[in-house]
Amino acid sequence: MRIVVLAGGIGGARYLRGLKQAAPEAEITVIGNNGDDIGLFGLRVCPDLDTVMYTLGGGINEDQGWGRRDETFTIKEELAAYGAGPSWFGLGDRDFATHIVRTQMLDAGYPLSAVTEALCARWKPGVRLIPSTDDRLETHVIISDADGRRAIHFQEWWVKMHASVPAEAITPVGADDAKPAPGVLEAIEAADVVLLPPSNPVVSIGTILAVPGIRAAAASKTVVGVSPIIGGAPVRGMADACLTAIGVETSAQAVAAHYGPGLLDGWLVDTVDEGVQVEGITVRARPLYMTDLDATAAIARAALDLAAELA
């Protein structure tokens, strides 16, 4: 079976671990979000691609859900001693090596998709990981605060401000002109099913879908999603702040309606949301907390079962 997954960071990566257990024989292609990518200290940092790669490759800091385990922060401390910012983004020493290799390869002319493949040769995530695009794509957030109305990088809003200032708009800068990375559309065309994990529907999956061609390709397939919202609240992260910014209510029903029946065929909601209905989309209620690997594999299996029914 060929499965394509559109994945953000922590939620996507953990879901993928369950999917690998649920479908060990499947050929899984992961299309990763680039909207969180940021240039720091002259280096290209791709948090969501790295979170998937480290999680599936056994190198993730399990408590945080991002960054490397057994990490040290000597470089960060040394940079701070020079007053070289930003200090609010925690890059560890081991993680720095990934960004150095990535940046060296990008500077040598390799596209991000080839660089990601090279990094994965070390981590062996057991899936094919492709960025949504090789073109520059970054999510920016429009805010108004004491410094006036301005656009800031998504990571500044998310990590530095903890989304405490309301987002007036969230924009995937560069998306309109971006082309899907090589292999993205081909993988979707060849897929038996496209899965949407419980990733952020705005800044993760929404940004992948904003790359021209990806949404249309996925829409022609059987698509099953897992709600990131349980009982009216995000399971983790600050998806509610992102949904509010685009005028979507924080509910399992509203997120499915936002994706729309043109894209989604099936939608898994948690048992507390049993009874939710969305026009044109088949909804099933299952326990959706990814408490451990077996629980996560059961969620992935439920998505595949629903897809098989709807195909």
List of residues contacting ligand FO1 (CB under 6 A): 8-9, 36, 47-48, 50-51, 66-67, 89-91, 95, 155, 158-159
Give least dist CB 66 to ligand FO1, A.
Answer: 4
| φ, ψ for residue 12, nearest 5 deg | -65, -45
Other Cβ atoms closer than 10 A to 106: 16
Task: Give the residue with the Cβ less far from ligand FO1, 9 or 228.
Answer: 9
**Residue 191: is it exposed, middle or buried by C-beta count within 10 angstroms (0-12/13-18/19+)?**
buried
Measured CA to CA, the distance from residue 303 to residue 267 in angstroms comes to: 8
Give least dist CB 294 to ligand FO1, A.
Answer: 25
Task: Give the residue with the Cβ less far from ligand FO1, 10 or 302.
Answer: 10
DSSP E strand stretches across the chain: 2-7, 27-32, 38-40, 43-45, 128-131, 138-145, 148-153, 169-173, 193-196, 223-226, 229-230, 233-234, 266-269, 282-285
Task: Give the residue with the Cβ less far from ligand FO1, 8 or 197.
Answer: 8
User: DSSP assignment of 280-303, as one string?
Assistant: TBEEEE------SHHHHHHHHHHH
Give least dist CB 257 to ligand FO1, A.
Answer: 23
Task: Give the residue with the Cβ less far from ligand FO1, 36 or 273.
Answer: 36
Measured CA to CA, the distance from residue 214 to residue 256 in angstroms comes to: 18
Give least dist CB 33 to ligand FO1, A.
Answer: 7
Give least dist CB 36 to ligand FO1, A.
Answer: 4
Task: Give the residue with the Cβ less far from ligand FO1, 32 or 266.
Answer: 32
List, in order, residues 6 or more apart from 188 with CB less than 8 Å away.
4, 31, 194, 214, 217, 218, 221
Give least dist CB 306 to ligand FO1, A.
Answer: 26
Task: Give the residue with the Cβ less far from ligand FO1, 40 or 298.
Answer: 40
